Structure 1
Amino acid sequence: MRKALYLLLPIGAYFFGAFLSEYLGKSIKRFHFLRWDTVLIGIEILTVVVLGFLPAKAPDQICQVVLNFICSMQFNTFRQMEGIPAATTFVTNHIRQVGHFLAKYVRHHEKTYSSRVKAHGRLILFFLCGAIVSTVTCRFFEYRSIWGSALILLIVFGRLFYADISYEKDLLTRVPHGH
């Protein structure tokens, strides 16, 4: 019974992450300064930095529940890439999409299918790069390797922040597709 109750924690964290990202995503626009996706990347950076400071003896479940929460927020917030539905936290769907659109392209030779293959292929490539970087950082930094993701997130945050205050400033009030 105790184990069954424990399983409610990561599931609850995932549920609450989706709820909170949906709720805050709409509320943040009132400030007309940063888009919700930029704010979320900032939250992710803070989260992985804090998790990196946990002692090695800390229960793994702490990271699991916190990352379930953050990944749910990310999955719910980043639903599209270049107008194409995309799951940013899972690679398996992109592998399926490449196969699906490659078959359509071979059959019909339409540019739309080719561009979808390339878009999903890029996401697979990014996942692969992330796996390689994670493997290398784990080897050298062990429990602090999570900070490698903070570095990548910092680059993403910088690009989103710059877009929010400059060339995409007029998009601050736009509701993201899928919300």
Structure 2
Amino acid sequence: MSESLLLAVFLTLAGGFQDAYSYNCRGEVFANAQTGNIVLLGQNLAQGRWQEALHYLLPLGAFISGVYVTEWVRHLFKEYQRLHWRQMVLCTEAILLAVVGLLPQSANMLANGLMSFACAMQVNSFRKFRGIPCATTMCIGNMRSATEMLCRYHITKDRELRRKCRHYYFVILVFALGAAGGALMSLWLGERAIWMAGGLLFGGFLIMFVKEGERGPL
């Protein structure tokens, strides 16, 4: 189930939601798009705005830490029988986002750091769905792969390439829907809107209890 399309939908909705939430509700910082944070960090450093630069440096450090910690989780618990190590990751993410929803605006730096840490855990743990390498927290790689597959399909007429192309564009659409939901819910619920993304991740945690033979076409 860790590679099912149903799980990909839950995680991608949460990924888009988090980016919109962090930008609209937590000081215009991206929880997932670290490239954007690097650009804004460099811009603020060039302008001598040291305090503002910290707003982007902390999420970058948290992202790196999240990848590092996830590798340890994989190493220590990959043979654990009662719970899949990826379920541990999703449960941790959901808890972190629950904490974020309790933080006031004065703690935006901490909130963004926790979200970036959670995002890194997700992107490092879930890299492939239906046998296709795919990201659930960012779109640039998916866009490149989708367009590559589209072009190769037009050249070769290989239907498997068309299937992969549709898969990538579908994931991009789901991410956009998650971002739209994140923007709307942030305006409506404020800081606590992130609990909806946490709920999606917890839903993914529950989905992974379904056995391989029980899951159906998704």
Q: How does 1:131-170 map to 2 (within 5 A)?
A: 131-160=179-208, 162-163=209-210, 166-167=211-212
2:181 & 2:205 partners in 1: Cα distance?
19
2:118 maps to 1:70: yes
Q: Distance in 1 between matches of 2:70 and 2:135?
A: 15
How many aligned residue pairs are there?
164
What amino acid is aligned across from residue 121 of structure 2 in structure 1? M
- SS at structure 2 position matched to 1:9: helix
Q: Which amino acid aligns with 2:174?
A: F
SS at match of 1:89: coil
Alignment of 1:53 with 2:89, yes or no, is no
What letter matches 2:152 in structure 1? Answer: K
Aligned residue number for residue 43 of structure 2: none
CA distances 1:141-167 after superposition (whole Å, capped 9, x unpaired): 01111111012112211101x23xx44
- Alignment partner of 2:176 out of 110, 128, 132: 128
Shift of 1:5: 8.8
Could you tell me how far apart the structure 1 residues matched to 2:89 and 2:135 are? 16
Name the residue aligned to 1:104. 152
AA matched with 1:21: T
- Relative contact order, higher structure (CA 8 A, sep 6+): 2
Corresponding residue of 1:21: 70
Structure 1 outlier segments of 4+, above 2 Å: 1-12
Instruction: Give the deviation of 1:4 after TM superposition.
Output: 9.7
Offset of residue 59 of structure 1: 2.9
Q: Alignment RMSD, CA only? A: 2.1
Shift of 1:71: 1.1
Question: What runs of 5+ residues in structure 1 fail to find an aligned partner?
Answer: 169-179
Structure 2 counterpart of 1:91, one-letter code:
C
Mapped partners of 1:97, 1:5: distance in 2:
32
Percent identity over the alignment is 25
Q: Which of 33, 38, 44 does residue 87 from structure 2 map onto? A: 38
Measured in 1, the distance between the counterparts of 2:53 and 2:79 equals 38
Unaligned runs of 5+ in 2: 1-47, 214-218
User: Which residue identity does 2:135 align to in structure 1?
Assistant: A
Among 61, 80, 86, the alignment partner of 1:12 is 61
Deviations along 1:102-121, whole A, 9 cap, x unmatched?
A: 11111111012111111101
Give 1:108's aligned amino acid: T
Residue pair 2:143, 2:172 contacting (<8 A) in 1 also: yes
Answer yes or no: is the 8 Å Cα contact 2:63–2:117 preserved in 1: yes
Distance 2:118 2:172 in 1: 21
